[in-house]
Amino acid sequence: MLWQAIQRWYDKMSLRERGMLIAFVWALVLIWLSAVSHQLRTLRGDLRDIQVALSDQRAVLDQQHDIDSQLNKVRGLFDHSYDSNQLFAKVNQFAQESDLGGASVTMQRSDNTDIFNINTVSVHLSKAPLRNLVAFATKIEAESPYLAIDDLTLHPDTLNPTQIDAEMRVSSLELKLN
């Protein structure tokens, strides 16, 4: 019924109107075909990009054994990393070994990243002999890069210049293995 109404309407048109209608319909068909071909080219390009990405990922997955073995080698290099409790204990141990009985060690903070934790303690030394302070710093430096003195402030005793008040921040690097 609709088709018959369209056919009657078309039959009533003059030859010029019919030609313009046919040209307009062809223009619409060409615009639609152009849009479809553009979408198909875009789709083909996206599929090509996906294939390249998948092949790259497949290449990485094929190297998983090599990557895991290299990761385990690197993890083996970090066998001396210290968490916050180990840092606190190690600094106290070094203070005792260096005859710094008056050392006050307090936990300060931990900075967490995706790969590392950086743990920090604060150390306050009162009336410490210079040679003992140097021995303490040398022990910490021997543990580098896992332990480090970040900040050091020295205040000499005006009455006895061989004794020093010191404040320092000691940090440790902890590798996250999981």
- Domain ranges across the chain: 2-61, 84-175
Tens of pLDDT, residues 42-87: 999 999 999 999 999 999 999 999 988 887 787 777 666 788 888 8
pLDDT at 113: 79
Token code pair at residue 30: 């060409």
User: What top-level class would CATH report for the domain 84-175?
Assistant: alpha beta
What phi, psi does 53 have (nearest 5°)?
-65, -40
Distance CA 51, CA 57 (A): 10
Q: Is the peptide bond before 145 cis (omega within 30 degrees of 0)?
A: yes
Q: What is the pLDDT of residue 102?
A: 77
Q: Which residues, listed in sequence order, are joined to residue 164 by a DSSP beta bridge?
A: 128, 156
pLDDT tens figures, 81-133: 788 888 888 888 888 888 887 788 888 778 887 778 888 999 998 888 888 88
pLDDT value of position 41: 96
Looking at residue 58, the DSSP 8-state letter turns out to be: H
E strand or H helix at 147, and its extent?
Answer: strand 147-156
Residue 97 or 26, more confident: 26
- What local confidence, expressed as pLDDT, does residue 87 receive? 87
This prediction's pTM: 0.55
**β-sheet with 104-112: strand ranges across:** 104-112, 116-129, 163-175, 147-156
**Amino acid 80: pLDDT:** 65
Q: What is the mean pLDDT of residues 162-173?
A: 87
Which pLDDT band holds residue 178 (cuts at 50, 70, 90)? low
Residue 7: Cβ-neighbour burial (10 angstroms; 0-12, 13-18, 19+):
exposed
The reported pLDDT for the residue numbered 36 is: 96
Q: Which of 90, 83, 146, 145 is nearest to 123 (CA)?
A: 90
